[in-house]
Structure 1
Amino acid sequence: MPSVALAKDGAADPQESDFYKITTFETPKETALEVGSIDLLPDGKLIMGTRRGEIWIVSGAGSSDASNVSYQLFASGLHEVLGIAYNPKDKNIYATTRYEITRLKDVDGDGRADVFDNVNDSWGVSGDYHEYAIGSRFDQAGDLWVTLCLTGSFNSNAEFRGWALRIKPDGTMVPTCSGIRSPAGIGFDAAGEAYYCDNQGPWHGSCTLQHLVPGSFQGHPGGNIWYDKAPNMGPRPIDPIPAAFQNGRKRGDKTPHVDPGRMVTERERIKQLLPPAVYLVHGKIGNSASAIICDLSSGKFGPFSKQLFVADQSHSNLSRVFLETINGIKQGVVFPFRSGFKSGLIGGRMDEEGRVFTGGSDRGWGARGGKPFCFEKCEWTGQTPFEVHEMRAQADGFELTFTQPVDPAAAGDLKSYSMREFTYAYREEYGGSEIDEILPKITAAKVAADGKSVHLTISPLTKGHIHELHLDGVRSAEKLPLLHTVGYYTLNEIPAK
């Protein structure tokens, strides 16, 4: 793969746009196209659901000429289509709305839905504006997944709010995971494992990428009242300890300096509690994580095959996630990837040609992009950025691999690196700052013979902490700086020696 050599002889450092191009499409004048969900149709078309309850078929978005895009309204009058899925078996469209999954059929072939079938509406809705329902595309078993936001982000006043559900091909509902707060995206990795993004709030110090393992508790106890309606899930988890009960204190005690809990210690008490796979560090990676996109393009989107890309509504950006499994638990690292989208990203999907289609809205929260809504495409230019490709946990530090060979002198210099470790309190109050900071020592940086990897020896490694690694001094063999010089690794488990 070719690389870009722009930083020699005083030239400007490489920029994100050198490697990944964003195309902004004109959208239909008759609507505000607040994209909430996207899926692929045959013949290169897209199907998009919107926050305003419309479904649009899009043609020509894959063309190199943005003026070729065209839109056809397929359906309207639905309630927040935050999940859309095409089923190749029956050739119908399935929409996840706030209150149900709907199967839409175009019987007469005129491009408009004629039949709206209720597939499942077994969850509750109260009218509270927080009660979003985020739907997936079909998984490998033919199921649709739905993650349900709590009522007011604290409670579950409507049935199964705060849960992940699976809807089987016959329409039956299977309660699958509890402990969800405010989901805004759901997707699958290359192996078909399900994940969702939760947002900062009560019991969540930051946005997170979470692994949806059936039977797991994802951390927020507000929806656990529905365990008696989910016998397949087993016993209800014990509740995490509220801050007012920490250290033997009683609720109502106004003595200051209450020390709230930590996810790593509560995991020892609550057997069903599954920690976030990756903390999407608040204010640095984003503030409102949304769509999850897996690169299954076999290299057509660059060197990050099978990695995940996470959109953010607030920061109008995409971040990149590399995951691994240690002691049966998912964990990994998040890097900045591409900023500069025009509005807050909500829906996203990659096609087989490695084109990422995405869009969203700034309504309700605001977004860095500055536009009220958008529909855009992100494509690889064919130039390979110098980046950390993978960051893997080791018993004594981390193994880094790069997209290009490194300069051995720079990559082997301890001064090229720095690290800090921190975590968030696991508490019932909203959000929280970075706490328990540790400044470990990096004692060795061993460059592999092929120049593509570096082993960092670090002490201490801290279970449950985010390990923030800066690589400001690392250079490629062509003397280029890294395009992104920071990564945040969530160390749920430390590998055995």
Structure 2
Amino acid sequence: MVTQRPVKTTVAILAFGIALIGLPLTGSNSSARGDDGGKEEDSYRLLSIAAPAAVTDSRSQHWKPSDDGVALEVSGIAPLDDTRIAVSIRKGEIWILDGVYDDDPDSKVTYHRFASALHEPLGLLKQDDALITAQRTEITAIRDLDGDLVADDYETLTNDWGVTGCYHEYAYGPKRDGQGNLWFTLNIGMGLKGQQLTRILPDAALGYRQAKWRGWGLQIGADGEAIPVCAGMRSPSGIGANAAGDMFYTDQQGNWVATNSLHHMRPGVFFHHPESLASMNQPGSPLSGIESVPDGLPLPEALQQFPQMRPPAVWFPYKKMGQSATDIVLDESGGSFGPFAGQLFVGEFTQASINRVFLEKVDGEYQGVCFPFRRGMASAVLRLAQGNDGSLFVGMTNRGWSSLGTASYGLQRLVWTGKTPFEILAMRAKPDGFELEFTSPVDPASAVNPSSYQMSSHTYLYQSTYGSDEVQQRSLPIQRAVVSDDGRKVRLYVDGLRPLFVHEINAAGIRNVDGQPLLHSQAHYTLNRIPTNQ
């Protein structure tokens, strides 16, 4: 089935576990301006492959897709070659799109349905001759055996987890780490009732009521076994590896989760949502011995009482840096996507945007900083994938929840124009402050002036209620600023650093040598550890 103007498809109402509180949820976010009013599109141009205007409200019980083509509620993206990508959609299909790298994609892209009859696929990965996706109840490898470009082999790689029938029991992935291992993540079930309670684990640890491995990150073993690695997840809709090949996931604000967060997945670690501990005593669990969970404490105190729990590598302060973090993609472009090679981009559902993350290791553990990157997508960003030319594909869908933007779903592509924006490239922790690195040399007069910067810190409550306000807030004076000889770095000496606190900086007074302000002047560093070495 190949078509250039594909027929309308009808889609049943589904839903994702997206956290939304107090957001104006209509209208466009297309202005895409930085903190200083500069235009993000000057450096990153947004091309729409398919983003038809919404015809009903995203939360409507009578939701309808657009009359314009396939309802591309993109739930997974897998680049194939220099002209094609594969996308999974929430309806339960996989489509092959050709011509997606064209600068005028609306008239050039062709669509071919490759697979159908899937159950809520929420990820897509090309591996050898297969496309692999996470369905609600299994990880499936899908192949075309006879060369007719239609799938005819659906192989179950693993289905070793529990499902009660709760709407919130999503499965995400898979993604591949640097060693070639396949990872996937499982949502917590929420509000279980009725027959769902007959499918939970019997005699579960600490009395929590969940199905097997809910709220866990897992690998797929060579024999198809689901290998539990780490626990404590609420709604881990994004996973991805960094440049070192280590695997991370994003979580979304809710009960036990103060705000959106990015976590390093590794064996035997617990993150924050304790209902995942229902599986703690299952064979193969790397966790044991947890007898109680603190509630209502500031995070640093909770971590002291709960030694198995590890803090996130990065907190995304609520609303300042989004409201529902989603997919993770590593910039592997080597510079063809601008100055951020080796950093992570993280999707943002509610604000229809993308954020950027720089990570470093301190005492062997990851921590880092998040920055705004690009706003103005047509709908909620659920999936990201870097194309063969370095550009960034953005898969969108907001049905059942809400987001900024004019569309209910679609596929867009971000292309670097060749113009490097003036940005904070990286922020590194020091024993007595931070080092800022910029994408171009700074004006020394503005950079050495402490009043060019404002800094504060805060932490969150670890609690069973929904989210957390910023607590224990404190302003931090900048004692002095020293500019490097090449003008690309500024060393800030700061009093009052606090471990396990988010340290926010606004460098609105900085200018580059051409007198331009930063496109985005704010950065949010999660200082889990204060380094002891310069």
Partner of 1:133: 171
Q: Could you tell me whether the CA contact under 8 Å between 1:142 and 1:169 is conserved in 2?
A: no
Match for 2:112 among 55, 67, 72?
72
Q: Could you tell me whether the CA contact under 8 Å between 1:153 and 1:181 is conserved in 2?
A: no
CA gap of 1:421–1:99, structure 2 versus 1, over 3 A, is same
| Cα distance in structure 2, aligned partners of 1:490 and 1:377 | 30
State the Cα distance separating 1:146 from its structure 2 match: 1.1
Higher relative contact order (CA 8 A, sep 6+): 2
- Within a 5 Å distance, the mapping from 1:5-44 to structure 2 comes to 14-26=38-50, 29-44=68-83
CA gap of 1:236–1:46, structure 2 versus 1, over 3 A, is farther
Q: Could you tell me whether the CA contact under 8 Å between 2:253 and 2:324 is conserved in 1?
A: yes
Partner SS for 1:421: strand
Q: Which runs of 5+ in 1 are unaligned?
A: 1-11, 243-259
Match for 2:467 among 431, 444, 454?
431
| Cα distance in structure 1, aligned partners of 2:191 and 2:492 | 40
Q: Could you tell me whether the CA contact under 8 Å between 2:178 and 2:246 is conserved in 1?
A: no
2:336 equivalent to 1:300: yes
Q: TM-score, normalised by structure 2?
A: 0.85
Partner of 2:387: 351
Partner of 1:189: 242
Match for 2:313 among 269, 277, 284?
277
Q: Could you tell me whether the CA contact under 8 Å between 1:221 and 1:239 is conserved in 2?
A: no
Q: Could you tell me whether the CA contact under 8 Å between 2:179 and 2:245 is conserved in 1?
A: no
Q: Could you tell me whether the CA contact under 8 Å between 1:38 and 1:349 is conserved in 2?
A: yes
2:491 equivalent to 1:455: yes
- Within a 5 Å distance, the mapping from 1:148-297 to structure 2 comes to 148-152=186-190, 156-231=209-284, 233-242=286-295, 260-297=296-333
Partner of 1:493: 529
Partner SS for 2:322: coil
| Cα distance in structure 1, aligned partners of 2:227 and 2:134 | 16
Q: Which deviates more, 149-158 or 462-471?
A: 149-158
Match for 2:144 among 106, 116, 119?
106
Partner SS for 2:280: helix
| Cα distance in structure 2, aligned partners of 1:327 and 1:156 | 37
2:372 equivalent to 1:336: yes
- Within a 5 Å distance, the mapping from 1:291-440 to structure 2 comes to 291-440=327-476
Q: Which runs of 5+ in 2 are unaligned?
A: 1-35, 52-66, 193-207
Q: Which deviates more, 210-219 or 341-350?
A: 210-219
**Aligned amino acid, residue 74 of structure 2:** V
Q: Could you tell me whether the CA contact under 8 Å between 2:210 and 2:278 is conserved in 1?
A: no
| Cα distance in structure 2, aligned partners of 1:402 and 1:484 | 11
| Cα distance in structure 2, aligned partners of 1:109 and 1:71 | 17
Q: How many residues align?
A: 467
Q: Could you tell me whether the CA contact under 8 Å between 2:294 and 2:305 is conserved in 1?
A: no
Partner SS for 2:518: coil
| Cα distance in structure 2, aligned partners of 1:417 and 1:369 | 32
**Aligned amino acid, residue 170 of structure 1:** D
CA gap of 1:346–1:268, structure 2 versus 1, over 3 A, is same
Partner of 1:52: 91
State the Cα distance separating 1:295 from its structure 2 match: 0.3
The CA deviation string for residues 104-141 of structure 1, in whole angstroms up to 9 with x for no partner, is 11112111111111111101111111111111333333
2:121 equivalent to 1:81: yes
Q: Could you tell me whether the CA contact under 8 Å between 1:99 and 1:125 is conserved in 2?
A: yes
CA gap of 1:140–1:449, structure 2 versus 1, over 3 A, is closer
Q: TM-score, normalised by structure 1?
A: 0.91
Q: Could you tell me whether the CA contact under 8 Å between 1:40 and 1:46 is conserved in 2?
A: yes
Partner SS for 1:103: strand
The CA deviation string for residues 119-174 of structure 1, in whole angstroms up to 9 with x for no partner, is 11101111111111111333333322111000117965211101011012432211
State the Cα distance separating 1:29 from its structure 2 match: 4.1
State the Cα distance separating 1:353 from its structure 2 match: 1.8
Q: 4+ residue stretches of structure 1 with deviation over 6 A?
A: none
Partner SS for 2:520: coil
**Aligned amino acid, residue 87 of structure 1:** Q
State the Cα distance separating 1:352 from its structure 2 match: 3.5
Aligned-residue sequence identity (percent) comes to 39
State the Cα distance separating 1:239 from its structure 2 match: 3.5
Q: Which deviates more, 214-223 or 42-51?
A: 42-51
Q: Which deviates more, 433-442 or 140-149?
A: 140-149
Q: Could you tell me whether the CA contact under 8 Å between 1:156 and 1:162 is conserved in 2?
A: no
**Aligned amino acid, residue 62 of structure 1:** Y
Q: Could you tell me whether the CA contact under 8 Å between 2:133 and 2:174 is conserved in 1?
A: no
